[in-house]
Amino acid sequence: MLGEADFANLALEYRRRTGFPLAAIDTAGKWIGRKTRSSVHEAAKQGERAQALSEALRWGEPSVVCDIQGHVLWAVPVMRNQDVLGGLLVLGGELRRPLVAGSLDLRIGTACRELLQLAIDHNLTNATLLAQQRALARREREKAEALHSLKDGLLDDIRSIYLMEEPALLAAIRRGEKAEARKVINRVLTAIYMLGQSRTELLKSLSLELVVIMARAAVQAGGEPENILGLNYRSLTELAKINDHEALAAWLCEMLEQLIDAIGANTKNPNSVQLVRALQYMEEHFSKDVSREEVARAAGLSSSHFSRLIRLKTGWSFTECLARVRVEHACQSLVHTQASLAEVALACGFGDQSYFSRVFRKQMGETPGDYRKRRLMESVSASAQKSQKKVQES
């Protein structure tokens, strides 16, 4: 967290921008740098302060919370990489009218944005992680709105169901999570039945399309294409005999079971596709603050399975593997650019220069500065030898 003098300057800057007082709290919502009262009311307010911090982390931005007396407060997390150290909290005073959607006081909305920007400007929070949380919240909100439209009968394009649910279904199949995949299929079936009503042939056609989607995911997850194509061929014969909704649902779930079993039955090179996908994701996002969970999700694996797999195949943990990717890119930047060590560290995903230097030295046996000097001298020496050879040949 900040020292007293630094925090005082920060609080003064925020008050000058917004007119609101700024305070500091720890992860449990306790005040930092101010005396608290040991009363029931103060304990309740502590919980609300912790809630404001939790909501900010969840949504990726300050979220207004009301305490039991009708006062409003908002916060932004203070972070080092992905670790939450505490928060900057604002007590916005008493709310004079009910807080409902669309009625947020403009001054409070501006003050929330200013708090987030202040934390980012002073490098007190993980701006990348918060941006990811905002994007995730936006996607969840859009999905909820789409499902609400479906419930109200406003969604008449039946293929929109696939656009909403296909990513979750594919990810569950790639991870081999039958229970989660069944949940997605049940949601899709319910929506199809709502829209398809008693049109059995239409429902069968849409269900077959689901099987095609699941088969593609199974192949991507490492299943043998020949086995999966055989399942699809048999499914056509079985599907033709189905005449009611219950039998159709049972058939679809049975196909899911067989496809996931086909993934597990491939012992020649299990999970190779997912691991390649994970390594590719790390190569593409090495400059960002990526987590093990994020990479596992991109590869279609559970976090625990991904950890075991990457250790088994590479001999390194996820953290070690990501560090190696970052150091490789740092080596290229040190040789081919004139960026400072601090700039190279940030561009390659390291939180600060000192941590970058420790990791680099552990892997390369020398500091980033020594590596750059050595490679520069080698380059100069090679150029000199090349020039001398040309002179001798002429």
pLDDT at 250: 77
Residue ranges in the chain modelled with pLDDT below 70:
1, 34-44, 67-70, 93-105, 139-163, 174-176, 191-200, 202, 219-234, 263-273, 394
Only one residue has tokens 């059995």, namely 200
Q: Which of 295, 304, 298, 366 is nearest to 325 (CA)?
A: 295
Q: CA 285, 289, 291 angle in degrees (round to 5)? A: 90
pLDDT at 150: 46
Report the sign of the C-alpha dihedral through residues 342, 343, 344, 349, in that order: positive
Tokens for 254, please give them.
Answer: 């049975």
- State percent of the chain over pLDDT 90: 29
**What is the Cα–Cα distance from 316 to 324, expressed in whole angstroms?**
10
> Which pTM value belongs to this model?
0.39
pLDDT at 198: 57
**What is the Cα–Cα distance from 239 to 215, expressed in whole angstroms?**
16
Full DSSP string of 9-27: HHHHHHHHHHS--EEEE-T
Q: Report yes or no: 40 and 66 within 8 Å, Cβ to Cβ.
A: no
**What is the Cα–Cα distance from 185 to 179, expressed in whole angstroms?**
10
pLDDT at 85: 92
pLDDT at 280: 83
Q: Which stretch of DSSP H or E encloses residue 84?
A: strand 83-94
**What is the Cα–Cα distance from 372 to 357, expressed in whole angstroms?**
12
**What is the Cα–Cα distance from 77 to 72, expressed in whole angstroms?**
17
Q: Report yes or no: 147 and 164 within 8 Å, Cβ to Cβ.
A: yes
Q: Report yes or no: 160 and 142 within 8 Å, Cβ to Cβ.
A: no
**What is the Cα–Cα distance from 247 to 249, expressed in whole angstroms?**
5
Domain ranges of the chain: 4-126, 156-264, 272-380
Q: Report yes or no: 322 and 82 within 8 Å, Cβ to Cβ.
A: no
Q: State whether CATH 3.30.70 applies to domain 4-126.
A: no
pLDDT at 156: 47
Residue 320 neighbours by CB under 8 Å, 6+ apart:
none
- 388 three-state secondary structure: helix
Q: Which of 263, 282, 167 is nearest to 223 (CA)?
A: 263
Give the sheet arrangement for strand 31-32, strand by strand. 31-32, 22-25, 83-94, 71-80, 65-66
Which amino acid is present at 131? A
CATH class name, domain 272-380: mainly alpha
pLDDT at 298: 80
State the pairing for strand pair 71-80/22-25.
unpaired
**What is the Cα–Cα distance from 275 to 308, expressed in whole angstroms?**
11
**What is the Cα–Cα distance from 130 to 121, expressed in whole angstroms?**
14
Only one residue has tokens 């594919």, namely 170
pLDDT at 36: 42
- 147-167 tens-digit pLDDT: 455 444 434 455 566 667 777
- State the DSSP code for 143: H
